[in-house]
Structure 1
Amino acid sequence: MISAQSGLRQEWTIDSHDAAAVARLAREVGCPDAIATLLMSRGIVDAVAARTFFNPSLDDLIDPLLMLGMPEAVARIQQAVRMGEPILIYGDYDVDGTTATVLLKTAIERTATKDHPAIVTYHVPHRLREGYGMQTGVLGAAAAAGVRLVISVDTGIRAFAAAEEAKALGLDLIVTDHHLPDDAVGVPHAIAVVNPAQDGCAYPFKSLCGAGVAFKLAHAILSAAAETAEEKVKLRRGLIPSFLKLVAIATIADSVPLEGENRVIAALGLRELRNPVQPGLRALMQVAQIPAERPPTATEVGFRLAPRINAAGRMDIASDVVELFLTRDAERASELAEKLDRLNNDRRATEARALEEIEIQLASLQTADGEFVAECIVLDDPAWHRGVLGILASRIVDRTGRPALVLTHEDGHAHGSGRSIAGFHLLDALTAVHSDGEVLFTRFGGHAHAVGFSLPSERVEILRTRMQSYGASLLCGSMLAPPLKCDVEVSLNDLTPEFFDWLVRCGPFGIGNREPVFVTRRVTLSTDVRLIKEKHVCLQVCQNGGGAKFSALGWSRGTDWAARCSGIGLRRGSVVDIAYRLKAKTNPQFPGLELELLDLNLG
Structure 2
Amino acid sequence: MVSGQAEIQREWAARAAEEGAIQHVMATASCPRGIAHLLVSRGFTDEAAVKSFFSPSLDDLIDPMRMLGMDAAVERIRRAVRSSEPILIYGDYDVDGTTATVLLKTAIERSATKENPAIVRYHVPHRIREGYGMRTGVLADAAASGVRLVISVDTGIRAFAAASEARALGLDLIVTDHHLPDDAQGVPDALAVINPVQDGCTYPFKGLCGAAVAFKLAHAILRAACLNDHERHRLERTLIPSFLKLVAIATIADSVPLEGENRVIASLGLRELRNPVQPGLRALMEIAQIPLDRPPTATEVGFRIAPRINAAGRMDVASDVVDLFLTRDPEQARDLAAKLNRLNDDRKVTEARALEAIDEELSGMQRKQGQFPAICLVMDDPAWHRGVLGILASRIVDRTGRPALVLTHEDGQAHGSGRSIPGYHLLDALTSVHDEDRALFARFGGHAHAVGFSLPSERVELLRERMEHHSAAILLQEMLAPPLEYDAEVSLEELSGRFHEWLERCGPFGVGNREPVFITRSVRLASSVRVIKDRHVCLEINSGDIRLRALGWSRSGMLWTELCQRMQLDVGSRIDIAYRLKAKSNPWYTGLELELVDLRLSESPATA
TM-score (norm 1): 0.98
Aligned residue in 1 for 2:605: none
1:563 maps onto 2:562 in alignment:
yes
Listed one character per residue, the Cα deviations across residues 311-358 of structure 1 (whole Å, up to 9, x for unaligned) are 000000000000000000000000000000010000000000000000
**1:222 — aligned with what?**
222
Conserved in 1, the CA contact under 8 Å of 2:18 and 2:40?
A: no
Q: Aligned-pair distance for 1:18? A: 2.8
Residue number in structure 2 paired with 1:596: 595
1:48 deviates by: 2.0
Aligned-partner Cα distance in 2 for 1:587–1:377: 41
Partner in structure 1 of residue 142 of structure 2: 142
**Which residues in structure 2 correspond to 1:307-318 (within 5 Å)?**
307-318=307-318
Amino acid at match of 2:147: V
* 2-structure distance, mates of 1:140, 1:192: 20
Judge conservation of contact 1:151–1:174 (CA < 8 Å) in 2: yes
Q: Contact (CA 8 Å) 1:6, 1:371: kept in 2 or not?
A: no
Q: CA deviation at 1:111?
A: 0.6
1:452 alignment partner, SS class: strand
One-letter code aligned to 1:163: A
Who is 1:547 aligned against? 545
1:172–1:16: structure 2 CA closer, same or farther, 3 Å change rule? Answer: closer
1:232-276 superposed Cα distances (whole Å, 9 cap, x missing partner): 121012110000000000000000000000000000000000110
Q: Give the aligned partner of residue 579 of structure 2.
A: 580
Give yes or no for contact 1:6–1:370 (8 Å, CA) kept in 2: no
Counterparts of 1:280-429 in structure 2, within 5 Å, are 280-367=280-367, 370-429=370-429
In structure 2, what residue type is equivalent to 1:81? V
**Count of paired positions:** 599
1:227, distance to aligned residue in structure 2 (A)? 1.7
Distance 1:375 1:569 in 2: 34
Distance across 2 between alignment mates of 1:257 and 1:210: 13
The separation in 2 between residues aligned to 1:73 and 1:293, in whole angstroms, is: 39
Q: Return the alpha-carbon distance in structure 1 between the equivalents of residues 160 and 6 of structure 2.
A: 44
Looking at structure 1, the residues matched to 274 and 321 of structure 2 have their Cα atoms a distance apart, in angstroms, of: 20
Q: Render the CA deviation track for 1:56-88: whole Å, top value 9, x for unaligned.
A: 000000000000000000000000001110000
Q: Could you tell me how far apart the structure 2 residues matched to 1:108 and 1:560 are?
A: 52
Give, in angstroms, the shift of residue 286 of structure 1: 0.2
Give 1:431's aligned residue: 431
Listed as ranges, the gaps of 5+ residues in structure 2 are: 603-608
**Cα drift, residue 589 of structure 1:** 5.3
Q: 1:506–1:564: structure 2 CA closer, same or farther, 3 Å change rule?
A: same
Aligned to 1:532: 532
Percent of paired sites with the same residue: 70
Cα deviation for residue 6 of structure 1 reads: 6.2
SS in 1 for 2:131: coil
Secondary structure of 2:590's partner? coil
1:586/1:163 CA distance change after superposition, 3 Å:
farther
Give the secondary-structure state (helix, strand or coil) at the position aligned to 2:366: coil
Tell me, yes or no, if the aligned pair for 1:73 and 1:192 is still in contact at 8 Å.
Answer: yes
Structure 2-normalised TM-score? 0.97
Do 2:6 and 2:559's aligned partners in 1 also have CA atoms closer than 8 Å? no
The aligned counterpart of 2:109 is 109
Matches within 5 A, 1:103-252: 103-252=103-252
Report the Cα distance in structure 2 between the residues aligned to 1:407 and 1:45, rounded to whole angstroms. Answer: 45
Contact 2:7 2:563 in 1 (8 A): no
- The aligned amino acid for 1:355 is L
Distance 2:377 2:259 in 1: 30
**Contact persistence 2:583–2:591 (CA under 8 A):** yes
- TM-superposed deviation, 1:47: 2.1
Q: Deviations over 1:83-106 (max 9, x none)?
A: 110000000000000000000000
For residues 330 and 114 of structure 2, the distance between their equivalents in structure 1, rounded to whole angstroms, comes to 27
Post-superposition Cα deviations, 1:399-453, rounded to whole Å, max 9, x if no partner, equal 0000000000000000000000001100000000011220000000000010000
Distance in 2 of aligned mates of 1:15 and 1:165: 52
Q: Which region of structure 1 is more displaced relative to structure 2, 98-107 or 16-25?
A: 16-25
SS in 2 for 1:151: strand
The structural deviation recorded for 1:194 is 0.2
8 Å CA contact 1:251, 1:266 repeated in 2: yes
Counterpart CA distance in 2 for 1:580 and 1:592 is: 16
Per-residue CA deviation, residues 566-597 of structure 1 (Å, 9 max, x unaligned), is 11111111110000000111525532110000
Match of 1:498 in 2: 498
Q: Give the CA deviation at 1:283.
A: 0.1
| Secondary structure of residue in 2 paired with 1:147 | coil
Query: Could you say which residue in structure 2 is the equivalent of 1:444?
Result: 444
**CA–CA separation in structure 2 for the residues paired with 1:555 and 1:401:** 17
Distance 2:417 2:448 in 1: 13
SS of corresponding position for 1:184: coil
Instruction: Report the residue type matching 1:220 in the other structure.
Output: A
Alignment partner, residue 52 of structure 1: 52
Task: Report the Cα distance in structure 2 between the residues aligned to 1:144 and 1:182, rounded to whole angstroms.
Answer: 30
Q: Map 1:269-280 onto structure 2 (within 5 A).
A: 269-280=269-280
- Counterpart code for 2:560: W
What is the SS of the residue equivalent to 1:424?
coil
Structure 1: stretches of 5+ with no match in the other structure: none
Query: 2: distance between equivalents of 1:239 and 1:589?
Result: 41
Quote how far apart the aligned CAs of 1:23 are.
1.8
* Partner SS, residue 293 of structure 2: coil
> For residue 591 of structure 1, what is the amino acid of its counterpart?
T
Letter in structure 2 aligned against 1:554: G
Are 1:361 and 1:379, in contact at CA under 8 Å, matched by a contact in 2? no
Offset at 1:19?
Answer: 2.4
Instruction: Report the residue type matching 2:595 in the other structure.
Output: E
Over residues 476-523 of structure 1, what are the superposed CA-to-partner deviations in whole Å (9 max), with x where a residue is unaligned? 000011111111000001000000000000000011111100000001
Question: CA–CA distance in 1 between the matches of 2:237 and 2:21?
Answer: 38
Secondary structure in 1 aligned to 2:140?
Answer: helix
> Does structure 1 retain, via aligned residues, the 8 Å contact 2:4–2:371?
no
CA RMSD, aligned part only? 1.1
Deviation of the 1:552 alpha carbon? 0.4
